[in-house]
A and B are shown apart, each in its own frame.
Chain A
Amino acid sequence: MPDILDSTSDRGGGAALSDAPPSSRRRGPVRLLSAGLFLLLAAGGGGIALSSRRVVKDQEKRLLEQRATEVGALFNLSGARLQEALHTGATVVTLTHDDTAAFATTAQAAVASRLVGAMAVVQDDGAGGYRILHSQGPGLAPGGPLPAPVVAALARAGSDGQFVSTPVFVADGQRRLGYAVLIPGLTPRTLIYGQSALVQSTTSPSRQNQLFSDLDGAIYAGRRVDPAQLVLSTPGFRLGKGQVRTPVQLGADTWLLELSANHPLVSTLAARQPWLYLIGGLLAAILVAALVEVLLRRRQFALALVEERTGQLRRSLADLDAAQQQLVHQERLAAIGQLASAVGHELRNPLGVLGNVFYLLRGRLGGDDPWLERQLSTGEREVGAATLIVSDLLEFSRPRQPVIEDVDVTAIVDEVLTVAPPPSGIEVARRLAPDLPPMRADRSQLRQVLLNLVCNAYDAMPEGGLMVVEADEVDGSVHVTVADTGGGIADDALPRLFEPFFTTKAKGIGLGLSVARRIVEAHGGSLEARSRGGTGASFTVTLPSAIVPAATVQ
């Protein structure tokens, strides 16, 4: 039995375990791991996106620099043409010994081709200035002086034929720019000077478009970003904000070219690569994190399931073990029952013979001698008690279906009192209603029930007392009550009175009342116990009578 108790408590523990939903445990760490993986992968994607963005920017810058070189080359080309025009002028002056007409033809061609706004032959006046000898084009009148920035620039022109340029200067309210080459071999110093008016950048987009193509940019006379020295720029270009600055050579001078790309130079796909990397990385992070989460949860669920199943298995094994123990216990009980039954059967014959012997002895010897009478009574009573024990045992171990017949209540009560005569000190009162109908019962079993009740009543009154056997009929049922004046039944014993092997007596095996109730209930009747405090107890057998109740007949 301890095994069964253990298994029960085990079951309680198992139930408590399985009450908690399996997935609720360790859910936190699972999320942490997945979230960590997500962040890691997302960060990786972001990093790749950033570095690829840098690559794209670098590529963009390289492309722009390449374009700047191209623009610079283009600029050089137009510078070279300008230079060539001036050299042509110088050559014409040298070859024609300063033939005005020949120079004019050459200068007019240069002005007409818009290489230069105006062209002149200028000569050192020996006073730190220059005098215009001949001129073609607007802004340069013969005999007129040249502005100071121009004079400073002309001083730099040497016999090497180098082309020099002036800074941007303002004359007659116009921004202008000048260029010059020295005509070699003439004294005083004589130069070919060209001058252009700088138009506002917005007004002549065509030339700029030629130079800058699809880019934005500006060119400064000089090495620095200086709005005052702006030579030309594309419309809307913000001076000094170019992405690339590169020096360009114009004759002896170095100018500055500033460029910006107003649209991506690298291909659209390449430009979008960082975003693709970022989105791809995020997607991969989400996928991997979700996958990990799912796998972990499945594993966790499986673990919980295994745990639960293991618990169930363990409980099943415990149950099985308990059941086996019980089976063994029952088998042992059954074996004992069989033995008791066999012994009981074998005792019935000798007990029967003893009963007969007492009967015969009483017939021959009884009557006058009280001493002999007492001995015979004792013998009969003890044989009756032994017989009852055997009958109860047999009835308990192998219950028999009642064989119903009409049983005369008075006769059976008398027979019981004969088989179990009262011990000395106990008075018996029969209060049987006249004209009792027969009971519908198994005679032998009913006798056993009444014998049990009568013997119990005797046992309840060791000091002597009164036993009353009453019988009457009410509504088609016969009630037989056996009452004693003994100590009554304790309150705690009352509910257990009819349990097998329960007894309040010092002797006895505790089967009588349990067997009696089983028999009465197999008849469709009832057996009730009542205790009158400490002044006695009564047991009532109720069985159907052989007479149909009058109410039913009507």
Chain B
Amino acid sequence: MSAPAVLVVDDELGMRETVADILSGMGYAVTTAIDGDEALTRLRKETYSVVLMDIRMPGRDGISILRELGPPPPPVVLMTAYAGDDELRAAAEAGSYTVLHKPVPAGRLLDIVARAIAA
């Protein structure tokens, strides 16, 4: 059984790379994307067990990407540093697996990813 594929989408280099490293360290096959467009391109070509995606990014944001993904989408874990009530509601309606509030401790991140894949 090959390692589960995880797509990490974040425009911030530091966040993107550390999250990717943490997940790689646990044996996941990690791919990264720097914005929504790239994420959408990859999601249409490849299959991922779980997607970790920042909500606020230049160009299209995480919630609109989530809406564009046709069914059946992989579980999408959204991450945000801003989340207000409206944003959280929109994320839930768009079908996110869950929303994590940055900063997300590494242990919590790994826990959520494992659960999302198991679901």
Binding site for B on A (CB under 8 A): 345-346, 348-353, 355-357, 359-360, 363, 383, 387, 398, 400-401, 403, 415, 418-419, 444
Contacts and interface: CB of A to CB of B under 8 A. Distances in A.
B107 interface: yes
A356 B83 contact: no
Interface in B65-95: 81-85, 88
B38 interface: no
Closest 10 CB pairs of A and B: A352-B103, A356-B18, A348-B81, A359-B106, A353-B14, A444-B101, A352-B102, A348-B102, A351-B103, A355-B103
B14 A360 contact: no
Q: Give the interface centre of B14, B81, B99 by most chain A CB atoms within 10 Å.
A: B81
Contacts, number: 65
B80 to A, nearest CB: 9
A357 B99 CA distance: 22
A384 to B, nearest CB: 9
Interface string B90-119: 000000000111111111100000000000
Chain A's interface: helix, strand, loop or mixed, by majority?
A: helix
A401 B89 CA distance: 11
A356 B19 contact: yes
Contacts of B103: 348-349, 351-353, 355-356, 383, 387
6 contacts: A345-B81, A349-B14, A353-B14, A353-B103, A356-B22, A400-B84
Contact of B21 (A346, A352, A360, A400): A360
B104 A363 contact: no
Contacts of B81: 345-346, 348-349, 352
Contacts of B15: 349, 352-353, 356
B25 interface: yes
A63 B2 CA distance: 154
Given A353-B103, A355-B106, A400-B85, 14 more contacts: A348-B81, A352-B81, A352-B102, A352-B104, A355-B103, A356-B14, A356-B15, A356-B103, A357-B18, A359-B105, A360-B25, A363-B25, A383-B103, A415-B105
A141 to B, nearest CB: 157
A441 B62 CA distance: 25
Contacts of A403: 88, 99
B61 to A, nearest CB: 15
B85 to A, nearest CB: 5
A360 B110 CA distance: 13
Contacts of A353: 12, 14-15, 18, 103
A395 to B, nearest CB: 11
Nearest to B21: A360
B102 A356 contact: no
A400 B84 CA distance: 6
A349 B12 contact: yes
A350 B12 CA distance: 9
B106 A356 contact: yes
Nearest to B82: A345
Nearest to B91: A403
